[in-house]
Structures are given as C-alpha cells and as structure tokens.
Chain A
Amino acid sequence: MEVGIVGYGVYIPRYRLKVEEIAKIWGGDAERIKRGLFLEEKSVPGPDEDAATIAVEAARNAVKRAGINPQEIGAIYVGSESHPYAVKPTATIVAEAIEATPDLTAADFEFACKAGTAGIQTCMGMVGSDMIKYGMAIGTDTAQGAPGDPLEYTAAAGGGAVIVGKDGAQTLATIDDTYSYTTDTPDFWRREMRPYPKHGGRFTGKPAYFKHVLSAAHGLLRKLQLTPKDFTYAVFHQPNGKFPLQAGKELGFTKEQIMLGLITPKIGNTYSGASMIGLAAVLDQAKPGDRILVVSFGSGAGSDAFSITVKDGIETKRDAAPKVADYVNRKVNIDYATYTKFRQLLVR
C-alpha cells in the first residue's frame, strides 16, 4: 500500500479519579473491582476541556513530531462519542487550531471506540490514491459513565492523532496493511439526545468485543501470512485492563507483547482515543524493525486491524513532543465531589 505514519501525538488530561473514590460513594468493593478490571484510576477532563480541546492538543503534538507544514494536510477526520456539537464538526475546530485551513477536506466520524482508527483507514485510501499528501485521523473522547453504573469506573478522557503520508523518507513507520471485521451487533449504544450509553451487560464480551477483535486479527494475519511471533507488540482496544490480555492470549500473544501498549490500567478507557494512545505508547519506545499489531474495537460493532512496522525515522522524531508516559505521570488526584463538579453531573 505504501503509506506510513508521518507523525503521532496524544493528550491526556491531568486529573485522576481512583477506583476507591467511586467505590466509596456507591458501596463497591474497591479491591475486587480493581482486580476484576485490572485498572487503578481514570483520567477526568478539567472543566475547560472537552473532546475538541483534547483533539487539538493531540493534533498539535502530531504536527510537531511530523515536522511538516500543516498547510499540506489535505484531510482531517475526528472520531468521537462525545463531540461537543451534535451538528458542527470538531474537525474544523482542529483544522483552524493547527492552521491547516482552508485547503482541505474534513469530517467527523462516529463508530463508538473505533471512530479514530476508521479515520486512519480513510486517510490511507486518500494518501495511497494520491488524492492528498497528508491526512490526519484523530480519536478523542470525554466519555461519560452514568453515576453508579459499572462503566463509571472506566469511562475516561483522552485522545490520539496520527498523520498518514506516502511511505518514504519522512515516515517513522510503515502501515503494512489493514483489515476490518464489521457486523450489526448492538452491544453498546447511546440514543440521540440521551446523556448516557446503555449496554448489553455480558453480551458486550464474547459476541461483541472478542468476536470482532479476534476475527479482525485473524483476518489480517491470514492476509499477510503472519503469526503472533512475527510481531514485537500487540495493541488491542482496552475498555479495561483485562480484555486485551484475554484477547491476546486467545490469539497466541504473550503478556510481554501486550503490556507496553496497555495504558487503560493507569488512565481508564479513553474510548475513541484508546487504541490510538496504546499505539502511541508503543511508538514512544519501539525500535526500528519492530512490527506492531493494532486491533481497535467499536461497539455496534467492528474492529480495524493494522500491521505497522517501525522505521529508522522514529528515533529522531519521537522526542519532538510529549510522550504517553509524560501525560500518564503528570497527574492530580481528585475526589468524587470535584469529579461531579467538573463533569457537571449536578446541574445548577
């Protein structure tokens, strides 16, 4: 396909809410929940942050790493479940904020947690067919968990951006290929104008997450004639810390291959940002020649699988912007009351 990643960037807000703080309010057993979800705390956006401000930070970081003139970006796609507007794209706000306007196309995507990776595939097509020179795909969310619902422990905020370009001197990694597995599976959804999503409980497991993630992974490995041993790292969509380890195990990956790209235990599920942040965490440390499998998952349902091979360019580029670990470690813990104020759960 001859396309690659020219730059990448992430942003994670600094506030954290520990499992203990939520459990205290709703009467949960914090230790059991932490073990069951393999998660300690989740990121919370500040009162002046939203999916657009997070997308802008991630995009600016990606442009810094890419070292390109933003005017050469021909397309920007922003995927989210928490776009600030129902109608008026986040993508144009990002486009102005990185000075990419006006010679570009833009749109917002929705496909639950895989809206960002769907954008990567679109950019691959546009770059590969020479329609544009560079395309940017962003996955960003300030996910909202209903108070008292189990999802409240994991619904977090963060975003990742990837700039796709023709494979060449500027790319820091090649996107070898992509394969997607998509069906109409209503495992988790949110109706128009309702504030919180609903989900099918245990139905979200085998028939949803695992079926699509495993099928997409198998599909790509078959297409490329590769096995788990051919990969250095595997990044899976990470609604909690456990599912990726389970999926990886079933596919034949080792825990060591998965841990570098597993960030949810420290920051929660950043929804559309999750797979992109997992990929960024791996790119922050991978060596030239390493091959990475990325499999996202979006409820509704579908998975996008990518095989990505790291190139020499990465060592000079990755220090140009803050890394995932920098954002993970820059944190301030808040209590549940502050969380409700920030998330405007108590409306005046």
Chain B
Amino acid sequence: MSVPRFWREIPNRYNLIGTKCGNCNKVFFPPRYICPKCRRIGKLEPYKLNGKGKIISFTITHVAPNGFEDQAPYALAIIELDEGPCLTAQVTDCDPNQVKIGDRVEMVFRRIGQDGEDGAIYYGYKAIPA
C-alpha cells in the first residue's frame, strides 16, 4: 500500500472514526461518503465507534498473503460492532482454535504490516477477546 493511501486513512485505522448519516442516523464503518438510503439528503459527519462488538463469522488463515506469513495461522473474523456496522479484522492475543461465533471482542491498536524492511510500518486495528 502506498504511503499517501495509508496516511489518508490514519484516523479511521487508528481511532475507528467512521461516518454517520445526519438524516437517518445510520453509522458506517469503514466510512462511507454517500448514505445508500438517504443519498442526496444524507449528511455524513465523522463518528467515532467505541470498538466493542461480537464475532459473526471467522476463519483460521493457514495460507497467508504476502507480509502476513509470520503470523499464520491466525484467526480472521467479521465483527459486528455494537453501533451496527461490520468490519473484517484479525483476532489476536488468543488461540485461533478457541475463537467462536458470538464471542465478544474489542478493537485494539496493533501493527498490521510493513512495506518491506525498508518501508513504512502500517498500524491499525485488530480484535482481542473481551
């Protein structure tokens, strides 16, 4: 990932800042710039999520993509945050074999990857069992 692309999303990745539609109050994370329901009358403002949620599906990744090999096997999950939106994240600080649908988790600040040994380090969110 290029540096500007990563940098632009630091508030979202570090602090779970999504958007909220001023018209229908739906919360979006990852952030959206058009409310699919309200469209032109939707007023999207930044909104910080509190980072708590539950696992609605997961998988243990054995064949990891480039840059993630050293962490394999790791649990990857879709997490439904308490405010409504769902996101995809690794579940860390746990035995991947113990992860279950329904587990409560909270999002924490961790190192996601790097652009090689000489490149930038990417920080972002992962989930840990709550």
Chain A positions within 8 Å of B, measured between CB atoms, are 14, 46-50, 52-53, 56-57, 60, 84-85, 93, 96-97, 99, 341, 344, 348
Contacts and interface: CB of A to CB of B under 8 A. Distances in A.
Interface string B25-43: 0000000000000000000
Nearest to B114: A84
Interface stretch (B53-61, B77-85, B104-112): B104-112
A304 to B, nearest CB: 28
A57 B109 contact: yes
Given A48-B110, A53-B123, A57-B109, 19 more contacts: A48-B112, A49-B110, A49-B111, A50-B111, A50-B121, A52-B121, A53-B109, A53-B111, A56-B109, A57-B108, A85-B121, A93-B123, A96-B10, A96-B11, A96-B14, A96-B15, A99-B15, A344-B70, A348-B70
B11 A48 contact: no
Contacts of A344: 70
Contacts of A52: 111, 121, 123
B71 interface: yes
Contacts of A99: 15
Contacts of B71: 47-48
A14 B123 contact: no
Contact of B92 (A46, A84, A348): A46
Contacts of B10: 96
10 residue pairs, one from A and one from B, having the closest CB atoms: A48-B110, A56-B109, A97-B14, A48-B111, A47-B71, A53-B110, A96-B14, A84-B121, A50-B111, A96-B10
Interface of B: 10-11, 14-15, 69-71, 90, 92-93, 108-112, 121, 123, 126
Contacts of B109: 53, 56-57, 60, 97
Contacts of A53: 109-111, 123
A56 B110 CA distance: 9
A48 B15 contact: no
Contacts of A49: 110-111
Given A57-B108, A85-B121, A48 B14 contact: no
A195 to B, nearest CB: 12
A48 B92 contact: yes
Contacts of A47: 70-71
Contacts of B126: 48
A114 B60 CA distance: 41
Nearest to B128: A14
A56 B123 CA distance: 11
B70 A341 contact: yes
Contacts of A48: 71, 90, 92, 110-112, 126
A48 B111 CA distance: 5
A93 to B, nearest CB: 7
A16 B71 CA distance: 18
Contacts of A57: 108-109
A52 B109 CA distance: 9
Interface core residue of B10, B110, B126 (most chain A CB under 10 Å): B110
Question: Which of A48, A50, A52, A348 has the largest number of chain B CB atoms within 10 A?
Answer: A48
17 contacts: A47-B71, A48-B71, A48-B92, A48-B110, A48-B126, A49-B110, A85-B121, A93-B123, A96-B10, A96-B11, A96-B14, A96-B15, A97-B15, A97-B109, A97-B123, A99-B15, A341-B70
A84 B111 CA distance: 10
A97 B16 CA distance: 10
Nearest to B14: A97
Nearest to B109: A56
Given A48-B110, A85-B121, A14 B93 contact: yes
Nearest to B117: A347
